[in-house]
């Protein structure tokens, strides 16, 4: 918008400069045959103006006068009006019942009103997965202990995979497993965070397993290795837990349900009730808490060092498989192959996995570690965190593997449908997650971000060559080989895209892991990576750190130059939210850090559909139309002043009374445009969701392009020309009233002003798509208020009302010419816009106009016609359930053709 204002400033200066030149020339040539041609301007009574001896100075002063007089070209009040409108739009967003999450009593909250119109221009959404696409309500689902898998139930992702393959795998098994789980839960009641059933483990049956000692250590680790705080209900005696994350709470609950109940935490100790495999009874155990090595995004693990009742010092550790397996001792890898196999199976099922391991420390080793750790902890230096990590890293080695946990984080309600709608709207969706690649891929299929038949371009660093170098430990060689591998994979992916560019039905998905992303984001490679990514229908970045999420968001934002939206729910998403043009925080279970750093807060991912496709589209259209109309009404008014200046030989005399000039943008034309910005709708919310391609009008900026802005400006110039010339020609040479008096400057000015007020308000009425009582009140009220003002102001003493003194009562109202001129000038002025709008609607309709025709003609009940219109929103590279069905139909058609 600023560039448009600069353009108007250029027009203003050009008009003032050109007028001053003509004024200077006319002043210099004013003396002819011993007479002053413009004697009525009293040049003999002027020191500078109209002084033919000082024509150059007179022209300079006239330029300054013209700049002030034509200042109405610059819509200063526009900025105030926009702020008012945006605040009111934000209130409507906050009050939208369709974005209210009843279960948590959380409405949508627009925390800023500066980005309303950008909600309708989002090109790319960058989303977190956990807690954003999923519920972040973790349930302990499966586990692998001593190389044996426990918990055979099917997850939501496995069911989605089954549907994707078109078969009903293990239907009988799944049904019987579900019955078993339901039966065990019925006995104990539904337990939040625990969805596990295996007769080999539950009810103390684990003591009969071959590796009962490993199982005991496994669940003991779950009960002890955490930072959760127990809360005991004094009435019932039940224990609940306050944990840093839903994962941690699920682990502690699982340990409790399987016989290892953590019930008390002190400053230096914690206590549990554990099932004694010998006596079969629960016994109390107390552990002395020596150290807690906390989890962070770079360590990807958490450890506690405790001393048990027998005096043994144990280091208990849980973390990501990519970190933990390399820390195992040679004698601690007894079950590593089977465990890794199970971890991959769990990841394929969409489960989040952690590896559990331990080691026993001798007293001297712990004492040495404690000294180094305390020194690093007490160090006041920028390197403190690095030193603490180095000391922790040395002790967290030579671990003995126990097994792996698998927790399920189910998709939020409505996520697949929401992604489908957003994809139909032409919005690109990227998922940036810290999960394993297999987990992210399967969640992608479950939420329709990926589909069968979509070509997957996978960039990773798991090749045998890289793994061999990692075992050697040569960091320089690893970095060099990794960089070359990533560059080669990106180039190969780009070549595949080029090869299939002619195929309209081939869609690509880019999947890249965190290690590869490190090199892909380097300066010499990031543009190649981005070029590949933006030509793919879906992008999934796995194992991404918070910093990488922010860097990817920054890359997309600055290199594409298009509007980006980031959405997340946790503290690790804050950087991403702040880097994006629009940050949307999910007010979920991971605290309020994301919400506090966001521009807009919603409770569920599915509300993004209503926020963007409805409110975003409306806000963009309203603000765009409002700004264009502001330019129109100001040019219409300001250019009549310029034309009168030309008519009056650039004398600097305004056509209108001073108060007319001052109140034009305050009372006579401002309120209808505010109503437009708040209430107007080209189509209803229902149609916005039914025809998502409407959203592309904002992404492509068709409603605020230079073509549209200049067309509204041209409309303003045409309106001013018609008003001025029709009024002057209708009044200058004949009697104005029955007494034969001609129209003077005051009558001409008031008549022109009346026409301007009528024209700009009726132009607003023609431009509005959705009338409300408020809009009617403001449009017709502005016109009525002009006449009331003319009556009241004209009744004031002449020294105050000046040229407006009783001009309406005595001159305008009694004269038929005034009413006839007003009527015909207003109608004639609106004809060009009306004709243009009619031709465009009939022969070159925009997408929203097509939808409006559907509504007006009643064709919304014709499913075939609506499907043909919606087909324009389905693109070959899109994602979602609709695109999946379209691809499947295309595949069936191809197969039938090949058979023939």
Annotated catalytic sites, by residue?
128
Bridge partner residues of 124 (DSSP):
428, 564
* 745-767 vs 670-679: helix crossing angle, rounded to 10: 0
Select from 569, 658, 561, 655 the least CA-distant residue to 608.
Answer: 569
Select from 731, 622, 694 the least CA-distant residue to 870.
Answer: 694
Residue 474 backbone phi and psi in degrees, to 5? -80, 100
Q: Is 224 helix (H, G, I), strand (E, B) or coil?
A: helix
Are 712 and 629 within 8 A, CB to CB?
yes
Select from 476, 527, 408, 428 the least CA-distant residue to 157.
Answer: 408
Are 125 and 170 within 8 A, CB to CB?
no
* Other Cβ atoms within 10 Å of 357 Cβ, number: 28
Are 146 and 448 within 8 A, CB to CB?
no
CA torsion sign for 737, 739, 744, 746 is negative
Structure tokens at 424: 């139909």
- The residue to which tokens 């030149």 are assigned: 21
* Other Cβ atoms within 10 Å of 581 Cβ, number: 20
Sheet holding 508-512, edge to edge: 109-110, 600-602, 582-586, 563-568, 122-127, 428-432, 538-541, 508-512, 455-459
Are 599 and 583 within 8 A, CB to CB?
yes
Q: How many CA atoms lie within 13 A of 378 on its CB side?
A: 6
Task: Give the integer Cα–Cα distance in Å for 762 and 448.
Answer: 48
**DSSP secondary structure of 527-575:** HHHHHHHHTSSEEEE-S--HHHHHHHHHHHHHHH-SEEEEEE-SGGGHH
Task: Give the integer Cα–Cα distance in Å for 319 and 336.
Answer: 15
Cite the DSSP H helix spans in 132-236: 156-165, 171-188, 212-224
* Other Cβ atoms within 10 Å of 885 Cβ, number: 13
Q: Is 783 helix (H, G, I), strand (E, B) or coil?
A: helix
CA distances from 100 to 104, 134, 413 (A): 9, 18, 14
Select from 670, 688, 592, 800 the least CA-distant residue to 78.
Answer: 670
Pairing of strands 313-319, 351-361: antiparallel
Element (H or E) spanning 332, and its range?
none
Task: Give the integer Cα–Cα distance in Å for 520 and 671.
Answer: 52
């Amino acid at each position: 918008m600023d560039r448009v204002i600069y353009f108007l400033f250029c027009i203003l200066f050009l008009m003032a400069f050109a007028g001053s030149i003509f004024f200077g020339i006319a002043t210099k040539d004013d003396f002819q045959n011993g007479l002053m041609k413009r004697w009525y301007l009293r040049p003999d009574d002027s020191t500078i103006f109209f002084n033919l001896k000082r024509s150059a100075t007179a022209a300079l002063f006239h330029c300054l006068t013209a700049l002030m007089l034509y200042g109405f070209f610059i819509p200063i009040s526009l900025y105030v009006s926009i702020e008012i409108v945006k605040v009111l739009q934000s209130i409507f967003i906050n009050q939208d019942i369709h974005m209210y999450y009843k279960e948590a009593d959380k409405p949508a909250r627009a925390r800023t009103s500066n980005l309303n119109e950008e909600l309708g221009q989002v090109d790319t959404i960058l989303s977190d997965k956990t807690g954003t696409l999923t519920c972040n309500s973790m349930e302990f689902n499966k586990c692998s202990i001593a190389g044996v898998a426990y918990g055979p139930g099917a997850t939501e992702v496995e069911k989605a995979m089954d549907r994707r393959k078109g078969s009903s795998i293990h239907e009988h098994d799944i049904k019987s497993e579900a019955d078993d789980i339901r039966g065990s839960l019925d006995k104990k009641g539904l337990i939040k965070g625990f969805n596990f059933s295996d007769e080999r483990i539950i009810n103390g049956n684990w003591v009969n397993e071959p590796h009962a000692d490993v199982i005991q250590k496994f669940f003991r680790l779950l009960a002890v290795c955490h930072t959760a705080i127990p809360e005991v209900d004094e009435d019932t005696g039940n224990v609940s837990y306050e944990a840093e994350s839903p994962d941690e709470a699920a682990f502690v609950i699982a340990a409790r349900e399987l016989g290892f109940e953590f019930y008390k935490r002190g400053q230096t100790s914690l206590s549990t009730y554990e099932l004694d495999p010998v006596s079969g009874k629960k016994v109390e155990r107390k552990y002395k808490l020596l150290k807690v090595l906390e989890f962070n995004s770079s360590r990807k693990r958490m450890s506690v060092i405790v001393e048990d009742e027998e005096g043994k010092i144990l280091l208990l550790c849980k973390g990501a498989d990519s970190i933990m397996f390399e820390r195992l001792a040679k004698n601690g890898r007894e079950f590593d192959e089977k465990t890794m196999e199970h971890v991959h199976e769990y990841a394929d099922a969409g489960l989040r996995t952690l590896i559990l391991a331990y080691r026993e420390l001798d007293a001297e080793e712990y004492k040495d570690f404690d000294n180094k750790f305390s020194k690093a902890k007490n160090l006041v230096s920028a390197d403190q965190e690095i030193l603490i990590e180095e000391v922790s890293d040395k002790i967290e080695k030579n671990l003995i593997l126990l097994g792996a946990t698998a927790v399920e984080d189910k998709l939020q309600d409505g996520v697949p449908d929401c992604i489908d709608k957003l994809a139909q709207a032409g919005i690109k969706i990227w998922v940036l997650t810290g999960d394993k690649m297999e987990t992210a891929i399967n969640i992608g299929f479950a939420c329709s971000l990926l589909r069968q038949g979509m070509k997957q371009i996978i960039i990773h660093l798991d090749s045998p060559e890289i793994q061999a170098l990692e075992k050697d430990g040569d960091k320089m060689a690893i970095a060099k080989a990794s960089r070359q591998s990533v560059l080669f994979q990106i180039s190969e992916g780009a070549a595949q895209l080029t090869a299939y560019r002619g195929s309209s039905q081939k869609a690509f998905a880019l999947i890249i892991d965190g290690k590869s992303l490190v090199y892909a984001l380097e300066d010499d490679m990031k543009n190649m990576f981005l070029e590949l990514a933006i030509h793919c229908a879906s992008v999934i970045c796995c194992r991404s750190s918070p910093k990488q999420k922010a860097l990817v968001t920054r890359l997309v934002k600055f290199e594409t130059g298009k509007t980006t939206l980031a959405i997340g729910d946790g503290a690790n998403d804050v950087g991403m939210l702040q880097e994006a043009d629009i940050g949307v925080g999910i007010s979920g279970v991971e605290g309020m850090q994301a919400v506090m750093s966001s521009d807009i807060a919603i409770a569920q991912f599915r509300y993004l559909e209503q926020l963007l496709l409805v409110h975003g589209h409306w806000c963009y259209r309203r603000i765009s139309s409002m700004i264009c109309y502001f330019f129109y009404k100001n040019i219409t008014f300001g250019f009549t002043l310029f034309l009168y200046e030309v008519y009056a030989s650039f004398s600097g005399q305004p056509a209108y009374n001073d108060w007319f000039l001052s109140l034009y943008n305050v009372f006579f034309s401002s309120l209808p445009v505010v109503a437009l910005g708040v209430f107007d709708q080209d189509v209803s919310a229902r149609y916005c969701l039914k025809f998502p391609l409407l959203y592309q009008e904002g992404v492509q900026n068709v409603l605020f392009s230079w073509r549209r802005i200049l067309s509204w400006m041209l409309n303003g110039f045409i309106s001013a020309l018609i008003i001025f010339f029709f009024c002057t020609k209708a009044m200058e040479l004949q009697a104005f009233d029955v007494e034969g008096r001609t129209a003077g400057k005051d009558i001409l000015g008031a008549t022109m002003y009346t026409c301007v007020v009528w024209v700009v308000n009726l132009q607003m009425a023609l431009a509005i798509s959705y009338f409300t009582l408020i809009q009617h009140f403001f449009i017709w009220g502005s016109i009525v208020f002009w006449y009331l003002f003319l009556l009241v102001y004209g009744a004031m003493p002449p020294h105050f009302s000046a040229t407006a003194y009783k001009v309406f009562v005595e001159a305008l109202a009694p004269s038929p010419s005034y009413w006839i001129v007003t009527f015909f000038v207003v109608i004639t002025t609106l004809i060009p816009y009306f004709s243009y709008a009619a031709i465009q609607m009939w022969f070159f309709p925009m997408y929203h106009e097509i939808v409006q025709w559907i509504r007006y003609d009643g064709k919304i009940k014709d499913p075939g016609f609506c499907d043909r219109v919606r087909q324009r929103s389905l693109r070959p590279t899109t994602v979602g359930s609709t695109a999946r069905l379209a691809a499947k139909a295309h595949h069936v058609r191809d197969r039938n053709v090949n058979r023939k």
